[in-house]
Structure 1
Amino acid sequence: MSSYKPVTHVIFDMDGLLLDTERLYTEVTQRICDDFGKQFTWEIKVKLMGKKETDAARITIDELGLPLTVEEYLKRTQEEQKRIFPLVQILPGVEKLLKHLHKHNIPMAIASGSSREKYNWKTVNYQEVFSVFKHVVLSTDDPDVKNSKPAPDCFLVAAKRFPENPKPAKVLVFEDAPNGVLSGFNAGMQVVWIPDLRADKSELKDKATLILNSMEEFKPELFGLPPYDS
């Protein structure tokens, strides 16, 4: 417990952490791959998680040898995502934690590789839940985010936009993706990692501050945040 340091601000990734969108991303991508007899594997997917959309598209095309341009690929994915993203489910423990931190006036933000348009599709049915965030940094559209995760850009930008401008050491990051864990670590922040069941936890055990199976397991008091009411 002594390895955890008190924080004043919290930044969350979104896809696969707050919302079950990573599963939907996989479904959409595999449908495109099916047209070309390709298999979208976990080994490829893990390279994309947290990336800007254009970067993720380019990696997918290159890894699988798809006969598509980035623009063609994104157009095909967008049509399907617009239909299914509004149906996404919020993940276990998320609403409880967000409401708790908001109640205790802990400043929160989102730092995601998503675009504004897709963020709106994903959150359309969760307006109240997402209203607790002070701001949202969406790497695909944000000119201040020069590099995708695992570069620290998105988390550093998100931290600087808090009026208090907290030092990185005072910021706690929540992530599901290995790229995101590295991004938070590279930003000098503590990182709570809630990985996909297929992830190799051993490869980032020295980068993640805490590894959990679900948001439901998180104990705010470990990081100097107000504990849940008993």
Structure 2
Amino acid sequence: MLTPTITHVIFDMDGLLLDSERIYTLLNGKILERYGKIFDWPLQAKLMGKRTIESAQIIVKESGLTGILSPEAFLEEREIMLQMLLPTCTLLPGAERLVKHFHANGISMCVATATCTDHFLLKTQNHSRIFAMMHHVVKGDDPEVKQGKPAPDIFLAALRRFEGHVEASKCLVFEDAPYGVAAAKEAGMSVVMVPDPKLDASCHERADQVISSLLKFSPQNWELPPFED
């Protein structure tokens, strides 16, 4: 393929930089278990990249709990447990190395995440050094993000906040979710996908590159400065 000139990088966060997805999976399962329901992989896959209230609506509907449990009540119950567990998020393999590498080589970066501001602060409180290397962060509750992924709103908002006029075609997005990949492509950007291994290969089709881990990313394949080690 012809490699576009990349000048800026946009990272998703959950399941890409941070291992937060395991916490949501655990808590969603605990709540549904009380209603005799199972939080399985097909349901989890439908939530990837979705904003908080959208995820809750999908969980309630797909689990057959409409009229029994409201999305708002689901979130209220889960929130108590999230406050305790989200600060335990750890960086996923390769995340710190890649962010530090781009920062050291003057590649401007940002984060575009569906998570809300309160949860972002909890998840990142022990990783402030890494997230301080980002030029900016756009979150799911940002006023400019009218629609969640797969709409391109969040990536277009992220693009506008870089310094100067930056063309979408010069942005490389790192995503783990099909909705996120679709949103980035709709925004006119290139995408490296790092999917969950359980995700069906048909969900990889729109990505420009698919890798199993950020550790597998080779910057030189995108004409970016190579790792020194």
- Between the aligned partners of 1:165 and 1:34, the Cα distance in structure 2 is 50
Quick check: 2:204–2:210 contact (8 Å CA) kept in 1? no
Cα distance in 1, alignment partners of residues 51 and 101 from structure 2: 30
| Equivalences for residues 43-58 of structure 1 within 5 A | 43-58=42-57
Counterpart in the other structure of 1:98: 99
Structure 2 distance, partners of 1:203, 1:87, is 29
Distance (Å, rounded) in 2 between the aligned partners of 1:97 and 1:138: 21
Structure 2 residue runs of 5 or longer lacking an equivalent are none
The residue number in structure 2 matching 1:110 is: 111
Deviation at 1:3, TM superposition (A): 3.3
Partner of residue 40, structure 2: 41
> In 1, distance between residues paired with 2:127 and 2:26?
22
Show the 5 A alignment for 1:215-230. Answer: 215-230=214-229
2:153 maps to: 153
Partner SS state of residue 10, structure 2:
strand
Whole-angstrom distance in 2 between the partners of 1:64 and 1:203: 23
- CA distance in 2 between partners of 1:4 and 1:115 (Å): 33
Q: Deviations over 1:168-204 (max 9, x none)?
A: 1000000011111111111111000000011012333
Cα deviation for residue 69 of structure 1 reads 1.6
* Partner of residue 69, structure 1: 70
Q: Counterparts of 2:164 and 2:71 in 1: how far apart (Å)?
A: 39
Which 4+ residue blocks in structure 1 deviate beyond 4 angstroms?
Answer: none
2: CA distance between counterparts of 1:60 and 1:191?
28
Q: Report what 1:198 is aligned to.
A: 198
- Give the deviation of 1:20 after TM superposition: 0.4
**Cα deviation per residue 1:35-65 (whole Å; 9 max; x = unaligned)?**
1010112111111111111111111111112
- Measured after TM superposition, the shift of residue 165 of structure 1 is 3.1
Tell me if the contact between 2:20 and 2:89 (Cα under 8 Å) persists in the aligned partners: yes
SS of corresponding position for 2:43 = helix
The AA in structure 1 aligned to 2:125 is V
Distance in 2 (alpha carbons) for counterparts of 1:148 and 1:188: 16
Q: Give 1:86 deviation, angstroms.
A: 0.7
2:100 maps to a residue whose letter is K
User: Shift in Å at residue 130 of structure 1?
Assistant: 0.9
| Partner SS for 2:157 | helix
Q: Is the 8 A contact 1:4 1:209 kept in 2?
A: no
TM-score, structure 1 length as denominator? 0.96
Partner Cα distance (1:190, 1:149) in 2: 16
Say whether the 8 Å CA contact 1:190–1:208 is kept in structure 2. Answer: yes
* Deviation of 1:34 (Å): 0.6
Report the Cα offset of residue 163 of structure 1: 1.3
One-letter code aligned to 1:223: W
Matched positions, count: 227
Q: Give the distance between the partners of 1:76 and 1:197, measured in 2 at CA.
A: 30
Give the secondary structure class of the aligned counterpart of 1:65: coil
SS at match of 2:191: strand
Say which SS state the counterpart of residue 173 (structure 2) adopts: strand
Separation in structure 2 between the aligned mates of residue 3 and residue 61 of structure 1, nearest angstrom: 44
Match of 2:136 in 1: 135
Would the aligned equivalents of 2:105 and 2:225 in 1 still touch at CA under 8 Å?
yes
Letter in 2 for 1:108: M
